[in-house]
A and B are shown apart, each in its own frame.
Chain A
Amino acid sequence: MSTLMLGLGLVIALAMVGAAVVALVTRSTVTAVLAAGLVSLFASVFFVVLAAPDVAMTEAAIGSGLTTFLFFFVMGRIRREGEK
């Protein structure tokens, strides 16, 4: 295990936690969703570091991609509903 890898891991980890904190404290739901997607995205990078390429692919596609869109779809629906 190289120090580089370790450092990389640490940076990603901090990024994840930072994004998570943003997702939790922000006032805007949109920001929160995006931040949560970011957490997933960092996670998938982390998975590559952790020698789990399969997981990384899945997390990227599902965790950060599809999930985020689902949120936006629903938020859109709710917004339209609320306008009525």
Chain B
Amino acid sequence: MTFEWIQVPYALATLFIILNYGLLMTAVVQKLAARVGGRPGIPVWQNYIDLVKNFALRSKISHGVMYYLGPVFRLSGGIGLIFFVPTIYGSTWAQNFSFAGDLILALYFIFFGTLGMALGAGESGHPHSAIGVSRGLAQVTAAELPMALAVYAIAIQYQTLSITEIVAAQQGGLFNWTLFTNPIAVAAAMFAYVGTTMRSPFDVVIAPQEIPIGPPTEYHSAYLALMQTNRVIFPIAKTIIYMNIFFGGATNWAEFAIKVFLLYMIPAVIGVVHPRFRVEQSIRFFLKWGLPVGVLAILMV
């Protein structure tokens, strides 16, 4: 696996597909949730409108260099994550730049955008954004823990850290999926998945009903556009990782679309039926339930 120039357009194409898929899918999920709540919800193209609108807005406001760079970090994190993970197994062109590093790279790169965003919001100087950041970080770190354990369990199970090889090992039938070969690890990982998608009951950080806190309140116009872009591709990128290592990956775009949608629905469904946790409740929850499962996963391998 070495670099060739043709990989650049390939990767851009993948990015384009995922972006559009994400824009549509998040709208659909939101609409579904609204319907469950008895509201009409947004049109499915609402995300496109927002994006275009925000890009079109002009702003002359900046609070400083980090503030300015925050969204850049955020979006770079999302795009980078997509680039470092192979999207479609077996495809010659949807491998992106996954030759640069393996699962560990993906796992740690998740923090890149988070860090940048937090720093950017921090410079805005508004204490509410700082509160949002500290809450968000506290919760995310606790939530990611079962995932790290699950990844380690999987890596031991397959004796590799390469995502491609993990996917390859799950080919040849439904029951080769990690979901069935190592259900405990998957369960652990799903704690993390639900916890990091920022949906109820773990959405106190960005919940609109709370006092307006967190990074989104500080950004507007093009900044917000970048962040919105990220908000559609980053969950997809993360879902791709889960799909790859737990659910047999995807051998074509259709399988990709279905699997991602279904996975994405899990937190959405949970969110619809559960009230919101406070942050320390979330942390306790992950330590009390997610962590033991993760530990079990490691011990069972």
A–B proximity contact (CB within 8 A):
no
- Residues of A at under 8 Å CB distance from B? none
